[in-house]
């Protein structure tokens, strides 16, 4: 299936942020971002924007956008139209995220429409919003996967990170209810200095509480422009242990089709020998992201706007955007003027254009944060026993970054049956 999409140059997945609004105030949060002066979403500190947005009451209006760009959200009808455009591009997997998606009063209608269009749904939520009756309706829609973040197995520590008393209790109750209902739930944990720094203790603690699947994220200051979160970074030892734990979790998840099995370009992935002509990642190649106001980005981490669905049809953005075509063209030999491909850590490197762009102002320049993660991944790999290691992956023959084929029959393109 992936090969067919690669040949046709079509997006297999999309990430849709429905809102930036959220009742939580997580210390490392990246999603509350807007720039009122420029009138479009961007990566920025979210305190002022989120405070203004709290008064919106969760309702999405039928107007094109709200007057305040911090509150700008596509209407229900506009989201429906966007979903139909995504389906016309033959998108299969749709991640619905935010902000907290359940603050939108029209969320169920949106999810129901997405299922009618046969998307495989991934929901990203804190699990703190919504009644039991609402969550039962979500279960009836049967999303393929629900991601919920927890920052400790100790309620007081988790609540200190989220800034909301009782948030751990609410999130855990939602997780257990969804698991009991047969919904696949991935708890996504983030190690934070001073809060939770031991991945093994965090995972075992959550498992004792009944959590069945735990994955790990790394906190990224590149997602938090305007916030200094480097003080939350765990040390190299803890990071290497986290990467090792995530590698084992991903290899286990690959055996379960409902869970995420794609590991390319992520910490803990199978090391891959790099060549100068290898593509770097899937940004703008087989995936894209859409902000609450309709801006299309190559990836949720890359704040370069390729177009806006309120002004330009999604297919035109996908095929003709200079931004998307530029990211598709990037190769490993271009990273840091050729130095990255020669780096001994390159087989383990989860290079990220978004982190580099935010850290250095140049998506092709190496970032200290990426190098730190690559070194931790190599360290975790070297510590693992031979029995635990999958084989070294060969260089990709085709994959993310390959320029899309020209669409056949106008702008619609097609996947070979």
Identity of the highest mean pLDDT range in 47-61, 157-171, 346-360: 157-171
Residue 402's Cα: distance from chain center in Å? 21
What's the pLDDT band for 71 if we cut at 50, 70, 90?
A: low
Q: What is the pLDDT of residue 415?
A: 38
Dmax over CA atoms of the chain, in Å, equals: 58
Q: Which residues contact 386 (CB under 8 A, 6 or more apart)?
A: none
Whether 345 has a pLDDT exceeding 90, the answer reads yes
108-151 confidence digits (pLDDT tens) = 999 999 999 999 999 999 999 999 999 999 999 999 999 999 99
Between CA 380 and CA 403 the distance in angstroms is 33
Euclidean distance between CA atoms 150 and 189, whole angstroms: 5
Percent of the chain predicted with pLDDT > 70: 75
User: Whole-model pTM above 0.85?
Assistant: no
How are strands ordered across the β-sheet holding 145-150?
214-217, 185-190, 145-150, 120-125, 93-97, 13-17, 287-290, 295-297, 307-308
Distance CA 363, CA 357 (A): 4
Residues of the chain with pLDDT > 90, as a percent, come to 55
Output the pLDDT for position 228: 65
Mean pLDDT of 4-18: 91
More confident residue, 8 or 206: 206
> What confidence tens digit (pLDDT) does each residue in 188-229 have?
998 999 999 999 999 999 999 999 999 988 776 545 555 567
CB neighbour burial string for 189-220, b if at least 16 within 10 angstroms, e if fewer:
bbbbeebbbebeebbebbeeeebebbbbebbb
Contact (CB, 8 A) for 287 and 15: yes
CA 254 to chain centre: 18
| Predicted pLDDT at 31 | 61
Higher pLDDT, 326 or 409: 326
Where is pLDDT greater, at 299 or 57? 299
């Amino acid at each position: 299936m992936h090969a067919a999409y690669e040949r046709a140059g079509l997006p297999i997945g999309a990430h849709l942020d429905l809102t930036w609004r959220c009742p939580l105030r997580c210390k490392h949060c990246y999603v509350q971002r807007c720039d009122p002066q420029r009138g479009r979403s961007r990566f920025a500190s979210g305190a002022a924007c989120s405070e203004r947005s709290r008064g919106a009451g969760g309702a999405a209006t039928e107007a094109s956008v709200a007057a305040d760009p911090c509150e700008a959200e596509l209407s229900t009808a506009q989201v429906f139209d966007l979903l139909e455009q995504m389906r016309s591009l033959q998108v299969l997997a749709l991640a619905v995220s935010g902000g907290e998606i359940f603050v939108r009063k029209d969320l169920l209608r949106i999810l129901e429409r997405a299922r009618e269009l046969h998307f495989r749904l991934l929901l990203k939520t804190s699990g703190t919003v919504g009644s039991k009756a609402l969550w039962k309706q979500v279960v009836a829609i049967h999303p393929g996967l629900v991601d919920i973040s927890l920052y400790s197995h100790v309620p007081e520590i988790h609540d200190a990170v989220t800034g909301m008393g009782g948030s751990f209790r609410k999130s855990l109750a939602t997780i257990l209810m969804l698991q009991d209902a047969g919904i696949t739930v991935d708890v996504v944990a983030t190690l934070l200095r001073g809060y939770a720094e031991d991945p093994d203790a965090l995972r075992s603690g959550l498992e004792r509480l009944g959590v069945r699947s735990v994955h790990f994220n790394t906190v990224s200051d590149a997602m938090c422009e305007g916030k200094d979160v480097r003080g939350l970074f765990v040390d190299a030892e803890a990071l290497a242990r986290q990467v090792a734990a995530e590698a084992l979790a991903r290899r286990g998840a690959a055996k379960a089709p409902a869970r995420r099995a794609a590991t390319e370009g992520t910490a803990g992935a199978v090391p891959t020998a790099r060549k100068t002509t290898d593509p770097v990642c899937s940004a703008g190649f087989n995936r894209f992201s859409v902000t609450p106001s309709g801006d299309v980005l190559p990836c949720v981490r890359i704040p370069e706007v390729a177009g806006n669905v309120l002004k330009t049809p999604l297919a035109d953005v996908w095929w003709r955007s200079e931004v998307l075509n530029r990211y598709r063209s990037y190769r490993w030999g271009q990273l840091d003027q050729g130095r990255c491909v020669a780096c001994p850590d390159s087989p383990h490197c989860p290079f990220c254009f978004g982190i580099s762009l935010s850290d250095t102002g140049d998506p092709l320049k190496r970032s200290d944060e990426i190098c730190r993660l690559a070194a931790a991944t190599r360290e975790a790999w070297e510590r693992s026993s031979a029995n635990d290691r999958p084989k070294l992956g060969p260089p990709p023959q085709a994959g993310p970054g390959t320029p899309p084929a020209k669409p056949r029959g106008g702008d619609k393109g097609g996947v070979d049956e």
